[in-house]
Structures are given as C-alpha cells and as structure tokens.
Structure 1
Amino acid sequence: MKTNYLLALLSAVILWLAWPPIPYSSPLLFAGFVPLLIAIEKVIRGNFTYKGKKIFWLSFLTGFVWNTASIYWVYNAMNAYLPSYVSLIISLIPFGLAPLLMALVFRSYYQLRKKTSIGYSFIGLVSFWLGYEFLHQWWDLAFPWMTLGNGFANFHQLIQWYSFTGVFGGTVWIWAVNLLVFLLIWQKREKIEAYSNKKLAIAVTATLVLPITFSVIQYQAYTEHVNPSEVVVVQPNIDPYGKFGPIPPSEQLSTLLELSERVAKPNTEFFLWPETALSSERGGIDEEQFRAYPAYERVISFLDKYKNGNVLSGIESYRIYNHAKTTTARDFGNGVFLDPFNAAVLIDQSSKLQFYHKSKLVPGVEQLPFGETLSFMKPLFAHFGGSTGGYGSQEEPSVFYSQSGIGAAPVICYESIWGNYVADYIRKGAQFIAIVTNDGWWGNTSGKDQHLLYAKLRAIENRRWVARSANTGISGFINQRGDIVQKTAWWAPDALTQEINLNEELTFYTKNGDLILYLALLGGGFSIFFLFKKRKEVSK
C-alpha cells in the first residue's frame, strides 16, 4: 500500500503544479489523476481487504494535499477578521470537505466497478465528479474555487470554446484525457490489450488536439464589434485591517475621488470603486436615506464634470423594517429591524439610485451555513462585525443601467466564480462585467492572482469585457477573448482607464447555461441504478 499512497501523493503534486497561478502549467491537468487511477486499479485487482475503504483514503489524500496546497490562503482570509480557532474551523470547509466529497466519488466508482464494466464505470466516475462540482456550487457550503475547468484560467488560449460549454466542459475534457491515458499506461504496464493500444493512442491525440486546434482558431479569428465605452477602475489600496477602523470613511472617499480624477476623461462613462468602498462613520449606509449622506453629495459633485458619468461602487448598506421581513434582519427593539448588505450601488445625475445585494455569500463569514439547523453556532461568527445572522441578499442578479442605456453586471467578489450566475446578468442585458472586490484580506498570496485569472473565464463564456476594481489589487481590464489588457500592481494605489467594447450578442453558453451538468445528472442517475442493481461478477 505504501507505493499506492506515493502514487496518490504524486497525483496531488501534479494537480497542484498545474493549478493557477503557475504559468503555462495547465496541460499537466491531463495527467494529474493518472497516478491515482493506477493506485486505485492496483487496489481493485490486488489481494486487499476493505478495498473500498483503502480507495476512499487514497483519493482523500490526493484531494486534501492538492486543495490545501492550492488554496492555503483561505486561512489568511478568515484569520483577517475572525479569531484563529474560528478561522481554522471555517478553513476546514474547503480544505477537508471538498476532498471528502472527492473521496466519495472514487468510492462510488469502485462500487460501480464491482457491478458493471470499466467503460460504464468511467461514465459513472465523470458523472459523479460533475455532480460533486455542481453540489459545491449550489449548497450552503458552496466553494467552487477548485472546479477542474478553472484550471485553464492561466492558459485561456486553449479553452475559447468555453463560450459553448462553460467551465464544466473543461472538467469533462480533463477527465476524458486522464482516463484514456490511464488505460493506455495500464495496458502497457500489464502487457494486456483489452482495447487496441493504437486506437487508444489515436483517441488520446484526438481528444487533446481537436479542442486545442478549435480554440486556437477561435482565438485568432475572434474580433470584437466596435461599441466603445470609457471606463475607469480605481484601486485605493486601503489596508483592510484599517478599512473599518482608524481610516475615516470621508478620507477613504477622498482617496477614491482623487484617483478617479487622475485618469478620467471627459467622455468617461463608468467609474468602478471596490467592494464596500462606501460606508459611514456609524458603519453602514441606510439605502432609503443615502441622498442625505455627505458621501452622496460629494459623488454627485464629482460627476458634474462628466456628462454621462456613473459611479458603480461597492457599499456597506442596510435597510430598516418595522417587522422581521427577512431571516437576516436583526431586532434592534421598539419594532425596528435592520438588514445589512454587502452591496453595490450605481450613482448618476438622475434622481434614481440602483442597489444590488450580493447573493453568493461566503459560508461562515457572510452567512451561517444551514442557518436554522446550525443556529447554535451563531456565537462563533459574532466576531464578524457583530454579524450572527449573516448578510441579507437577493435571490437573482440584477443589472445596473446608466442614463445612456448601458447595462453593467455588478458582480461582487466571490460571485465571479459562478459561471451560470454571471451569465444570468448577461441574459438580463448586461453589456460588460463590472467586478468589485477587496482581496486585501488574503495578503500577497496566490488567492488574489487566482481570483483575477478566473475572471478571464467569465469574459470568454459570455464574450464580455471585464472591468475589475480591487481594493488592494489586482485591478484591471480583460477583453472578450480573455486577454488581460491592463492590470495594476499589488498593494499600490492606482487607477486605470480603458476604452472597452460593449457587447449585446449572447453566446451559446450564455443562452443555455451548464447543459453538461444536466447530462451528468442523467449519467449519474443511470450509474446509481447500477449501484443498486443485483451484484454480478465482472471479468477483470
């Protein structure tokens, strides 16, 4: 078994080396699972007891080492504003839970191998894996950071066809190549030929070359329809540890205005400011009374110089109700309930204010997972700004429209990881994607780089420019092919201006979403049928 565990560790190392932001290493993903598959096959065919248990722990080891090495920065993010013991508990969600689900996938694969052929078992393996990735996007402990298709974010020239399939197409591609390579290596290792080695070699080559060729042709041939709009992104570089403390909100606003002024042009239409850029001395801003705040007057005064100017900013806001209108509203006594939001706002010269409330909330920090069931854990999370009930949210994304009719998708931080969610903005009329985030909590780790690179995937899926404003970096612009056209340095105040092209056309992916997941659910359903089918012996 020692050799098998070494093979499992080898898989983890290969997958980690293939993961962003390590440049041009993505092709390693095509072999990342091969050592683990060999180890599992050795267990299946060996004289071992408790084979299912051994396969579970082999795959858990791979997942745990790969995940922890790739997203070690999660602990930094949590430890920034939570006690160490709480941040450690929350960090175990991505460090341990995802590998646990991965291990269950491989354990189910082993059960399939006992009931049906290796070909059907492979279909079940891929279907179960996609089911795990779907679950990790949907439930209260959602953390889709390590979705396999995200691994090509650093080599976007290879996956231009995400405009048809989204990132789950990348997941299927990676698994298809891994399984074919595994079969080829295993047959040569065991000197057997259940499948023609020549045909397997041709299949591996075709599965690799055809998508890459198609993607490179797409990349070279793609041209943007000219529909220009001038956009400014601002990076105030306010230390997140001081953002809600010693630095007054009025001083933070002065920094934002000065940086915006530095690069603005008379025809600038959008100024993007980062997550929670606007707040008040008392904390949040009452959305109903925002026009009475000095910050609003200062922004309006600034926009006097720009005929079609709009400020799209992150804002720490709240609404007041006279009854418990939502599950996140806090009782302040005397019939007053306050619902806090991590939000975005669009400010222009009209009398209308547009707000968007972040929907995809960070488990354990912005929301208590399975709130009613785990309500006893609320004291653990009270350290986060006094928030024990979590932030309020809205169920669906909404688009900000400027007075000139331009639709912008106000994507807040963590939300940019959800392909279909961002596509929903586009389906509702967004002509470019505006990401407002902080990223300063993570420190100078690979987390900030991964978050930037993942935005390239949203640009490709929807063929929309991405304008990204991050408090401490990295801010910048990404075109419709996924190229980073401009970006700032980390931990430096800066502002960039860019003429982007607006787009109104919808890609196949934008129109249809994650069709591959529906096929995976169908495949998973058939696989479950085989799992419960009466056992029969299958020749090895």
Structure 2
Amino acid sequence: MKHLLLAVLSGLLLAFGWPTYGFPVLLFIGFVPILLVERDLRISQIRWKKWTVFGYSYVSFVIWNFITTNWLQYADVFGASFAILVNSLLMALLMVLYHSVAKRAKSTISLLFLMCLWMSFEKLHLGWDFSWPWLNLGNGFSEYFTWIQWYEYTGTFGGTLWVWIVNILIYKLIIKYQFEKSVKNLKKDGIIILCVVCLPIIFSLTLYYTYTTEGEQINVIALQPNIDPYSEKYNVPNEAIADLLLQLTNNEITEHTDLVVAPETVFADNVKISQLKDAYFKRKLDLYISKHPNLNILTGISFINFITDASQIKEQSNYHSSGFWYDDYNSAMMLNTSDSIQLYHKSKLVVGVETLPYKDIIKPLIGDFMIDLGGTLAMKTTQDARSVFVTENPNLKVGPIICYESVYGEFVTGYVRNGATVLAIVTNDAWWGETQGHKQHLSYARLRAIETRRDIVRSANTGISAFINAKGDITSSLAYGTQGALSGTLTTNDKMTFYTWAGDYIARIAIFIAIFVFLITMFRKSKIS
C-alpha cells in the first residue's frame, strides 16, 4: 500500500504542477516518490521486480497524463485513450530501463542515465511519427514564464534538465536522511537545492526586466470568426467566409494597419491550387487590398491538388476510390499588392487526424483509419522548408506557424533562421471546447516567443486570439467563444538567439550520454546500490 500511495503521489504532483492551473514548483519533487518506490523494490527480495516497477510507474504516469490531457476526449475518445495510455506506457518503460541500469551502476551514474534517458525520450517525441511532446517537462513553466527567460539559450530542454536535477538532489537528500537519521548533516545539501532552484529564477528575472527590443512597430489585426468546426465550418462557402473576415477587419482597420491574420483553414472548402488565382473569394480579398495598399492578409486555407502524372505521387498522397490520386494540404497563404501568392503547407501534423503514422506497417493492419474532425479525411502533404512570408516593408517578414507546429521549439526556429522578424500562429482550437486544451496551447506559445525573442500574433478560430511579446507577456487577448477582431502592435526583431542557432543541443548531448552509460553498464553484473 505504501508503494501505491507513493506512485499516486508522483502522478498528482506532476499533474498539479502543470499549466495552466498548476504550480510548477511541484514538478521539482514530482518524480521523487516514484524514485523511492523503485529503490525500495530494487533492494528488496521480491520476484518480478521489473514488472512491479513498471506497474507502479504506469500508475503514476497514467494519473499525470489523464489529468493534464483528458481534454482530448472532446475531439475523439479513442484518440485520447491512445495518447494517455501509450504515452504513460512509454514513460513507465523508461523507469524499467533505469531500474536495469541502477542494479549495475552507482547511484550517481544511474540517475544521470535516467535524466538523459528522459530527455532522449522527449527528443524522440519531437521527431517520430507518434509525436506527442505536449508533456515535455520544459513546457511546465509556460505560465511562470518570468522564471525561464533563459530558454533563449537552452530551449525547453533547459527546463527539463532543471526539473530532473532538482528531483535527483531531493531524492538523494531523502536517501541520505534515511541512512543518517539526522537533519543537521543535511543543511549543506538543502542549501545546494535551494540555490539550484532559485539562481535560475533570479537570472531569468534579471533577463526579463532588462530585455528591450529595438525593431519597428507593426500594426496588426487578429481575426476570431468563432465558427463551429463540427457543425458549421465545413459547410460555409469560401465567399461567405471572405465577407465575414472583411467585416470583422473593418471594425479595427486604420490607414496604419500592416497585417491582418485569420485562423487555420478558415477557408475550409477545398480549393484547387491551380484555380486559386481566379477564385471568387480571393478576388474579394484582392479588391479589399487594393483599397488598402499597405495591407497584407495572412490566412489559413485548405488546398487540394489532383495528380495527373504518376511520377508526382508522394508517400503522403491519397488514393480516392474513384481511381485518382490527390494531395491534401492544410496551408497558410499571404496576399498583398504583389501579383505572387505566398503559400506554406503545414508540416508538423496531428497523429491520426492529419497523418497515419508508420503507414507501411499500420495500414495493412487497420486500413486507412483517420479520426474524423470534419472536412476531408485524408493525409496532409507537407513541405521540407519553413516558408517566411515577405512584404513590401523589408522589416516585416512573417513566419506562418499552423496550429500544432507551435508546440515544437526547434521546428519554429526554422522560420527565424529563414528570416522571420515576427511570428504568426493560425489555429483552430475549437475541437476541445472550453477545456485546458486551448489554454495550454496558448500558454505554450509564450515559450516560442522567449526561445526566439520574436513577437507573436495568434489568430484562433474560436479563441484565444492574442498578442505575445518577445518576453512571453500576453499583451492583449480575445476571450474564447467570442467573435471579433483584436488589434495590436508587434515589434520586429532580426537578431537570432543562441537557441535559434544551436537548437536542441542539450537533448543531443543527453542522447549520447544515455547510450554511452547504457552500453557500459549493461555489461556489468547486477548489484544493489
């Protein structure tokens, strides 16, 4: 019973340390109870130790995953169950690997392995087909962003490293107390822990209050049409959507407005790329721009491209039962007085909704299974590079980030490396209703602002649309579930942060260390440590 209670405690500490409702200090002790459970089992004489470690760990991580991400069920119960149960399974397997190494190595080495293994797992979640980095530990400070201004140097992996170092120090402090039974000898360790927690915060606050931007002020409008994606969005003609967007824009536009941003796939009635130039809804937008020649309109749009040449069929292309192939795109588009249309196709896709992971393996087993969230049930086609939309103003270069892409730190730096001076997030968070889903998604955008030191405009179909400055402050926002337009200013920035240049270097170092320690220790005989 003691071990079960400790496992439950770990899950609750991690869950209630999570944004947007939690207090992240709890993350600093969240892993300690399950580490104590693992140690008790390791030095015990029970059988099936690995399975027991797995069982208690799974309890901890299911609790954490369920409390923080159960909002997924509002879009799809199966998808939510898969994400929660499988992600918890993977986390529990990490504890089993740690248990195997801890039997063969000294405590410090095995704990180093666990820390690096966890960061390796988080890096995996940023890149593999079942990508789900929502619970990467560095995200846990998104509401307490004044504590982690140094993410401009480390990215979120700096936060993960911070969490694990403190957990390990507290865990070792407890083990030391169990041996010595004296508080007097623990003062030095306690001071070290306090410094490890407080010094990064002090450094961060210094960065926060001294950071200044020197770029150009850009006047921007974020549109929030508030269209129900389940019952309305995919049944409204693009021409009617254009009228609505222009009506909302008229409420806020001035002669100084530089940029208008509309949400992800707001033009949801699939447009053939070859016919876009002459589409009636585009003509409406072009006419509006002609009356406001300084204006740039960035909007989400759904595209389709029918393939007539078999050599153009891609891995992500879709086959229709009528006998033809086509590419389906979730895209961003920018229009201005230029004759050219700038396009970007979403490239970080939602598993089960926009992409079928490991298609060659899974398709023969379950067929073309895709979760129905409205619109076309098809795999989306991506692009390799991060497009940056340019304007006649040489200082205004916009990185168009589409929805789920905003959760990926190193991915977003690609826009900045390609010249983006501001970032625009277009999204549709209505699938989850009034839950933590859209709140966490907005909160994570603060991390991208800090990592790249770029101001962000966020246009969300049902909300929360917002302006976020380069320090992570939400300077203004439009409430969830309301229709309207939000005007504000962004400050351009053409300087690159260290993280933008170096990317997830902490994770890469961690992967190397984890592999090295694992290979060395697994050749040793088991021992109690």
> After TM superposition, is the score higher than 0.5?
yes
* Equivalent residue number for residue 284 of structure 2: 298
CA contact (8 A) 1:368 1:378 kept: no
Q: Which of 494, 507, 510 lines up with 2:500 in the alignment? A: 510
Cα shift at 1:335: 8.4
CA contact (8 A) 1:162 1:509 kept: yes
SS at structure 2 position matched to 1:498: strand
RMSD: 2.0
Amino acid at match of 1:342: N
1:369-448 paired onto structure 2 within 5 Å: 369-376=357-364, 377-381=366-370, 383=372, 389-405=378-394, 406-448=396-438
1:433 to 1:17, Cα distance in 2 relative to 1, 3 A: same
Q: Which of 28, 39, 43 lines up with 1:30 in the alignment? A: 28
CA contact (8 A) 1:8 1:58 kept: yes
Deviates more, 1:48-57 or 1:335-344: 335-344
1:36-435 paired onto structure 2 within 5 Å: 36-78=34-76, 87-88=77-78, 90-191=79-180, 197-279=186-268, 283-324=269-310, 325=312, 326-331=314-319, 337-376=325-364, 377-381=366-370, 383=372, 389-405=378-394, 406-435=396-425
SS at structure 1 position matched to 2:434: coil
Cα shift at 1:343: 0.6
Amino acid at match of 1:240: P
Cα shift at 1:54: 0.9
Cα shift at 1:210: 1.2
SS at structure 1 position matched to 2:525: coil
What CA distance in whole angstroms lies between the structure 1 residues aligned with 2:319 and 2:102? Answer: 55
What CA distance in whole angstroms lies between the structure 2 residues aligned with 1:251 and 1:387? Answer: 20
Cα shift at 1:330: 3.3
1:403 to 1:333, Cα distance in 2 relative to 1, 3 A: farther
SS at structure 1 position matched to 2:361: coil
1:301 to 1:388, Cα distance in 2 relative to 1, 3 A: closer
Deviates more, 1:468-477 or 1:224-233: 224-233
CA contact (8 A) 2:352 2:371 kept: no
What CA distance in whole angstroms lies between the structure 2 residues aligned with 1:223 and 1:128? Answer: 37
- Return the TM-score normalized by structure 1: 0.93
Cα shift at 1:184: 1.1
Q: Which of 463, 475, 486 lines up with 2:453 in the alignment? A: 463
Cα shift at 1:304: 2.2
* Equivalent residue number for residue 524 of structure 1: 514
CA contact (8 A) 1:267 1:306 kept: no
SS at structure 1 position matched to 2:52: helix
Deviates more, 1:294-303 or 1:162-171: 294-303
Q: Where does the alignment leave 5 or more consecutive residues of structure 1 unmatched?
A: 79-86
Amino acid at match of 1:272: V
Q: Which of 485, 507, 511 lines up with 1:495 in the alignment? A: 485
What CA distance in whole angstroms lies between the structure 1 residues aligned with 2:163 and 2:171? Answer: 12
SS at structure 2 position matched to 1:130: helix
1:363 to 1:243, Cα distance in 2 relative to 1, 3 A: same
1:382 to 1:363, Cα distance in 2 relative to 1, 3 A: closer
SS at structure 1 position matched to 2:193: helix
Amino acid at match of 1:159: I
What CA distance in whole angstroms lies between the structure 2 residues aligned with 1:437 and 1:323? Answer: 33
Amino acid at match of 2:481: W
Cα shift at 1:151: 0.2
Cα shift at 1:224: 1.3
What CA distance in whole angstroms lies between the structure 1 residues aligned with 2:101 and 2:132? Answer: 27
1:196 to 1:527, Cα distance in 2 relative to 1, 3 A: farther
Identity %: 35
Aligned pair count reads 525
1:385 to 1:485, Cα distance in 2 relative to 1, 3 A: closer
CA contact (8 A) 1:378 1:389 kept: no
Q: Where does the alignment leave 5 or more consecutive residues of structure 2 unmatched?
A: none
Write out per-residue CA displacement over residues 26-50 of structure 1, whole angstroms, 9 at most, x where no aligned residue.
Answer: 1111111111112222212223221
CA contact (8 A) 2:328 2:378 kept: no
CA contact (8 A) 1:466 1:478 kept: yes
1:382 to 1:131, Cα distance in 2 relative to 1, 3 A: closer
What CA distance in whole angstroms lies between the structure 1 residues aligned with 2:315 and 2:378? Answer: 8
1:450-489 paired onto structure 2 within 5 Å: 450-489=440-479
Runs of 4+ in structure 1 deviating by more than 4 angstroms, as ranges, are 331-336, 382-389
Cα shift at 1:350: 1.1
What CA distance in whole angstroms lies between the structure 2 residues aligned with 1:112 and 1:357? Answer: 43
CA contact (8 A) 1:267 1:307 kept: no
Deviates more, 1:178-187 or 1:323-332: 323-332
